[in-house]
Structure 1
């Protein structure tokens, strides 16, 4: 008994469009035609479609299936690669489920990194936005350090968040002087925070650009001036650089 393209598609649980695509890719042989020009498919076509569907369910791409047919790809190697890919997918989905569990337990916003679920209620929109950028450009161990920093937030940190845009230079300087010792202590605990972009797995250039734009757009000029003034104060505390002696200088 011969089947039409539509009948074959129904039997194989696929579509006419898919069958035509497999013909174009060379994965399914073309059938003979009746005298009226209509294709007539047989059992070997059905079996082939079912085998392709099985391989697709296992995660194989059409090029991989074609390579297996041609004998240019090792079947065992392909299976091992698929298994490794599935393992990564399972790990990813498991992590996502854990993160969703944290969201449900704490009622935290979906955009807050899971490490900060406990602190989400006390975070401003600005802080949450910055954390979203940090999550993309920092490593997991750095995000853990940031959680420690957030947990140690002081009244001065809160003042920075609420600093009015028309704050005077005296107010800016006073707040910077209150913040500077805290930032100094923070950098003693986590030295990398003095140059966070240098540790980014995305590279210094990309991280520097992203962080600079984020701070520049999320903070108003008064707040940025506080941050700049903090760096000025910390720079005043830094020991002077040791100059290397000229090459022809006599040894001491």
Structure 2
């Protein structure tokens, strides 16, 4: 028994969208950008879609689902040598090659993100944001011995000087985390510096006094670093960085340093960073920092 059903020769936009698995709005967009030719209209001035229109819609739908951009699809349909419903020769092949490269890059980025998330879960949400080179330097410290301000400082340093610079700075926080008396002195000097707000004149005697206290503390801190042999550990950091990141031939024999090779791709230059990273330091506090640096330079001329 033969069926009396006869498929329509043309359908309206709603039926075309439903069959192709898209929306009328998307089809109208295809018309606007020249991806899908305007079909003939019926007596009611509404678009009517035939078999060839549906074939092209299906291919558009499949290609967009695969990640091919609409502009690339249009180019392939325009320059291809085959029909719209088939592989359009070199045009499609080139597009698919570029798409495969893009997907490979996206997969690599997803792997990087997953690694970062796993590190954050393992190391802690803050510490895990730092690079392996820095977190390895901090490994073994008592839980909770690093303060939020310590991690914030390392994050900024890594952005400016890269993992090597932050790993060297981490030595400071390793000592503070394991020497309560030094940590107490550090807090006292920090508080004194913060007290040099905008209400303090740059020539106020307190500025020079706090600078002297800062210099004395830094000297004491360095003495402990030297006593513990951590200075040699810092030298080993440079060697490890050089081994993992050999300098290009055009950079000569200087190796990695904190101002260039040690920064890495996620960092920026010091001077650029100074113009972009805001620091809420008063003129008095800046002067205090200058005086402390001068005291250090006078004590160690070779440095």
Normalised to the residue count of structure 1, the TM-score between the two structures is 0.71
* Alignment partner, residue 209 of structure 1: 275
**2:216 matched to 1:174?**
yes
Between stretches 184-193 and 75-84, larger displacement belongs to: 184-193
1:125 Cα offset (Å):
2.7
Unaligned runs of 5+ in 1: 241-252
For structure 1, which segment, 106-115 or 31-40, has the greater mean C-alpha deviation from structure 2 after superposition? Answer: 106-115
Partners of 1:83 and 1:99 in 2: CA distance: 24
Contact preservation (8 Å) 2:119, 2:128: no
User: Given the alignment of the two structures, is residue 125 of structure 1 paired with residue 153 of structure 2, yes or no?
Assistant: no
Distance 2:184 2:260 in 1: 22
Where 1:108 maps in the other structure, the secondary structure is coil
Q: Deviations over 1:118-168 (max 9, x none)?
A: 758443333333344345455xxx415523542562235774456213484
Q: Could you say what secondary structure the match of 1:23 adopts?
A: helix
Higher relative contact order (CA 8 A, sep 6+): 2
Partners of 1:179 and 1:230 within 8 A in 2 = no
Whether the 8 Å contact between 2:16 and 2:49 is mirrored in structure 1 is yes
**Correspondences of 1:1-252 after superposition (within 5 Å):** 1=8, 2-71=10-79, 74-109=91-126, 112-113=129-130, 115=132, 119=138, 121-138=144-161, 142-143=162-163, 146-147=166-167, 149-150=169-170, 153-155=174-176, 156=182, 159-160=185-186, 163-165=190-192, 166=195, 168-169=209-210, 170-179=212-221, 185=231, 189=235, 190=238, 192-193=257-258, 195=259, 199=263, 201=265, 203-204=268-269, 205-210=271-276, 213-214=277-278, 216-217=279-280, 225=288, 229-230=292-293, 233-234=296-297, 237-239=300-302
Consecutive unaligned residues in structure 2, runs of 5 or more? 1-7, 81-89, 177-181, 196-205, 239-255
The separation in 2 between residues aligned to 1:228 and 1:180, in whole angstroms, is: 18
Structure of higher CA gyration radius: 2
